[in-house]
């Protein structure tokens, strides 16, 4: 499993790169001031950073105990990303509605849009991170990882 410093590096780099991409994109897509989207993005990222750390620890803990390894197949990475975003969606939607002064329905649409972006982003980021910073236990042939 990954060490605490490695998990901190993972979570912080994930959020910084995500903020740099989602803030201008969100302002453009939703036709809102970049400042407002920036605040929503920053607060959301702060919450997501804590969730990222806790969720990835729990996910790997369960995976280690059930599969005997933390190596993830493509399908496991899809489950990982979807479950991560579902947890965030539940927490962030009320905040978005309140801060932007939009209806819960509008906040849901925005939150789902951000979630779809982050789901794809999480898949790509985590795949890249695992290739840049592989664990020693992953030195088995890829055909053996299910």
- Backbone phi, then psi, for 53, in 5-degree steps? -60, -50
Query: pLDDT of 47-71, one tens digit each?
Result: 887 888 889 999 999 999 999 999 9
Q: CA 31 to CA 25: how far, in whole Å?
A: 10
pTM for the model stands at 0.66
Residue 21's pLDDT is 92
Query: pLDDT of 71-129, one tens digit each?
Result: 999 999 999 988 988 888 888 999 999 999 999 999 999 998 988 898 899 999 999 99
The distance of Cα 94 from the centroid of its chain, to the nearest Å, equals 19
Q: CA 138 to CA 79: how far, in whole Å?
A: 20
Task: Specify the range with the lowest mean pLDDT, choosing from 19-28, 69-78, 104-113, 134-143.
Answer: 134-143
Q: CA 35 to CA 8: how far, in whole Å?
A: 27
Query: What percentage of the chain reaches a pLDDT higher than 90?
Result: 57
Residue 121's pLDDT is 93
Assess contact for 24 and 35: CB atoms under 8 A. no
pLDDT at 140 over 80: no
Torsion 130-14-67-65 (CA) sign: positive
Q: CA 37 to CA 28: how far, in whole Å?
A: 10
- Residue 58 burial (10 A CB sphere; 0-12, 13-18, 19+): exposed
Element (DSSP H or E) covering residue 130:
helix 104-132
Residue 142's pLDDT is 58
Residue 15: pLDDT band with limits 50, 70, 90: confident
């Amino acid at each position: 499993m990954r060490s605490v410093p490695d998990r901190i590096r993972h979570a912080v780099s994930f959020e910084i790169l995500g903020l740099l991409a989602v803030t201008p994109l969100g302002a453009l897509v939703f036709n809102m001031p970049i400042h407002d989207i920036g605040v929503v993005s920053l607060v959301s990222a702060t919450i997501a950073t804590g969730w990222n750390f806790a969720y990835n620890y729990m996910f790997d803990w369960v995976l280690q105990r059930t599969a005997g390894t933390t190596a993830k197949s493509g399908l496991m990475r899809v489950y990982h990303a979807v479950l991560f975003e579902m947890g965030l969606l539940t927490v962030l939607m009320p905040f978005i509605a309140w801060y932007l002064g939009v209806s819960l329905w509008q906040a849901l649409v925005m939150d789902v849009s951000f979630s779809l972006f982050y789901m794809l982003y999480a898949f790509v980021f985590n795949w890249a991170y695992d290739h840049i910073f592989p664990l020693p236990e992953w030195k088995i042939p890829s055909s053996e990882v299910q």
